[in-house]
Structure 1
Amino acid sequence: MTRPRSELVSVADTPFYHCICRCVRRAFLCGDDRVTGQNFDHRKAWLVERLAELVKVFAIDICAYAVMSNHYHLVVRINEEKAAQWTDDEVIRRWRKLYQGPPMVQRYLAGAVLDKAELKVVNDIVQQWRIRLTDLSWFMRCLNEPIARWANDEDGCKGRFWEGRFKSQALLDEAALLTCMSYVDLNPVRAGMAETPEASDFTSIQARMIAWVKRQRKNKKRNNSFVRTTKLPKQTLPTVPLLRFSGNEKQGKPSTISFSSKDYLQLVDWLGRAIRDDKRGAIPSNMPPILERLNINADELLTYVSKKEKRFIDVMGTENNFQKIAEQWQRKFIKGVRLAKQIFSRQIIYS
């Protein structure tokens, strides 16, 4: 049963969400068209460039993204505290990057003298915009609508480009966030579109790895084999401002992801190698320590991130957090508890 977005997205439950949006009409609208043989990869750049613009407008941070041939993934953080600190003029400035706004707001910006009733109208409009700038549905709308118009103009046709409703998944805790980010970042490797995470174009993991390698080389820290051997892509691809890692999961700031970038990059590199070598069921000895710290079952995590197709669930997190969210939603059962028990319960000791 389709559930209202207001139930699926609640910052009171968690600020982190995984979103998926798929194309319609043909199987591959952003990659190689199997009918005409035409390549549409430039549309991936459209999406990434638009995403970069919206991050500078909305109070929504990007943790991970991957643009595939017929769909894209986002992992986001809704930052209500940031929006609450904006002045009214800042809210207006940001919103007008997207829409012109009503005449009364334009008069206010022009310095016209407004009476109390008119000022109240302006204030009400601004508060509505402030809420919208933290609204995930408005963010996805502002991302998808221009891409659909540009693609339809290019194809010389009308109609839907995206499915009518994007999917959203609440990420209830750090373990769920780490799992989902690694799943999203490994999409091209899992699909056979790239050999390594750093070779995965139009993904956040490529951007993070490039930035990290450049920092290490700049600081002359070449003792790491990954830093020495990683080949950076020659072409310049659009990048999106990403939510930073804090460096310590116990001392994470509200505006950061509570892991170190090194730990996360090592995890994704490790998972990517295991996927390519088909290592499921044979976990190597050099398991990333972050899995042990977050009590994540490495074998089950590898199985999860290796699956190309899976049934989408509304919530991801540990079993305890599933129980809490079920009580808050007044539901006896939420799909995904079995998966939570499998992944977020380290029952195997790896040698």
Structure 2
Amino acid sequence: MPQPRSSQISLSDTPFYHCVSRCVRRSFLCGVDSYSGQSYEHRRVWVEERLLFLSSVFAIDICAYAVMSNHVHVVLHVDVQQVMAWTDSEVVERWHRLHKGTLLTHMFIRGDRLSQGQQLTLNDTITEYRKRLHNISWLMRNLNEYIAREANKEDDCTGRFWEGRFKSQALLDEAALLACMAYVDLNPIRTKIADTPETSNHTSIKKRLESIKGSITTHSLMRFVGNPRQYMPKGIAFSLKDYCELVDITGRIIREDKAGHIDHQQQPILQRLGLSGEQWLTLTTEFEKHFCYAAGAEMMMNQFKAHTGHQRIRGMGKAKKLLRCA
């Protein structure tokens, strides 16, 4: 039985979440349909561009993403402080970039004079918009509904395009976050549709590697801001260089189909996370298999379970084994 979204998302435990949306019908989201021979590759661009656009509207940052043939992975960071700092005008203007709004919100933006009753109604509306602009369900809804409409228009059909709900996993600590990001970025390599991270089209790792080479900027992705220190800017508390090297090494292991660990020059980032090469490889190739609603060290999993009202959470055994030192 599907769990209510309130039992899957707990911002008091973590602002980081892994979300997956899967196609429901036989025709592909992207890629080439082997049955008909029709290519849907251009739809990857739709998804990627829409996702990056939504990150510029919502107070939700994108840490990682991968657009696959019949599903989409995205790792998100919810920034409550950012949305609370926006003025009422900013909230309404951002919402109008996605939806029509109401008569009162348009009057407000134009600077029209409002009665006391109208102002009270407007205040309630802005409060609701502010909540939605840091709500993962609203971001995924704005992504999935847009893609479904475009795909149905192109296919000249109606009906459901996505599964009824997207899957959500809370990432409760740094090890879970980094492992999940690598899992997402390496999806094309694991499924053998790309040979290297830099050739993994429509993924965040390719976009980050292109930014290192200076060919593009990545303002639409959450930044890596280096190792933890006293005055940390907003961002992922790791080095981008370390992360890219770690993804590349992991990708080599996956492609060569080796079950061993990284036995030469283990990356400092793994040492900081307290993970062995074997643990890292398991996490970055089987993340969804072992964790359901949340992933993290045992203590963090227990806190999340208490805050969300779960009696049990699948993955507790793997948390003890794979993330016990994180």
What one-letter code is carried by the residue in structure 2 that aligns with 1:179?
A
- Aligned: 1:273 with 2:269: no
CA distance in 2, matches of 1:282, 1:87: 50
Q: Which residue of 2 aligns with 1:260?
A: 239
Q: Which residue of 2 aligns with 1:127?
A: 127
Q: Which residue of 1 aligns with 2:192?
A: 192
Query: Do the aligned partners of residues 75 and 252 (structure 1) sit closer, same or farther apart at CA in structure 2, a change above 3 Å counting?
Result: farther
Alpha-carbon offset, residue 239 of structure 1 = 7.1
Per-residue CA distance 1:275-306 (angstroms, 9 max, x = gap):
11222124322221111111123202213323
Q: Which residue of 1 aligns with 2:84?
A: 84
Per-residue CA distance 1:105-139 (angstroms, 9 max, x = gap):
21222222211111111111011100000010000
Per-residue CA distance 1:189-217 (angstroms, 9 max, x = gap):
00001100111000000011111133xxx
Alpha-carbon offset, residue 312 of structure 1 = 5.0
Q: Which residue of 2 aligns with 1:298?
A: 277
User: Does the 8 Å CA contact 2:183/2:284 hold for their aligned counterparts?
Assistant: yes
User: Does the 8 Å CA contact 2:270/2:276 hold for their aligned counterparts?
Assistant: yes
CA distance in 1, matches of 2:235, 2:32: 36
What one-letter code is carried by the residue in structure 1 that aligns with 2:211?
A
Calculate percent identity across the aligned residue pairs. 48
CA distance in 1, matches of 2:123, 2:20: 34
Per-residue CA distance 1:163-198 (angstroms, 9 max, x = gap):
110000000011110010000000000000110011
Q: Which residue of 2 aligns with 1:314?
A: 293
CA distance in 1, matches of 2:305, 2:7: 12
After TM superposition, the runs of 4+ consecutive aligned structure 1 residues lying more than 4 A away are none
What one-letter code is carried by the residue in structure 2 that aligns with 1:319?
E
Alpha-carbon offset, residue 251 of structure 1 = 4.8
**TM-score of the pair, normalised by structure 1:** 0.88
Per-residue CA distance 1:121-165 (angstroms, 9 max, x = gap):
111101110000001000000011111011001001100111110
CA distance in 1, matches of 2:262, 2:53: 41
Q: Which residue of 2 aligns with 1:327?
A: 306
User: Does the 8 Å CA contact 2:13/2:303 hold for their aligned counterparts?
Assistant: no
User: Does the 8 Å CA contact 1:52/1:239 hold for their aligned counterparts?
Assistant: no
CA distance in 2, matches of 1:296, 1:276: 21
Q: Which residue of 2 aligns with 1:31?
A: 31
CA distance in 2, matches of 1:89, 1:173: 35
Aligned residues: 326
Query: Do the aligned partners of residues 79 and 254 (structure 1) sit closer, same or farther apart at CA in structure 2, a change above 3 Å counting?
Result: farther
- Aligned: 1:64 with 2:64: yes
CA distance in 1, matches of 2:256, 2:220: 32
Q: Which residue of 2 aligns with 1:245?
A: 224
CA distance in 1, matches of 2:79, 2:253: 34
What one-letter code is carried by the residue in structure 2 that aligns with 1:133?
L
User: Does the 8 Å CA contact 1:49/1:240 hold for their aligned counterparts?
Assistant: no
Q: CA RMSD in A?
A: 2.1
User: Does the 8 Å CA contact 2:180/2:283 hold for their aligned counterparts?
Assistant: no
CA distance in 2, matches of 1:323, 1:141: 29
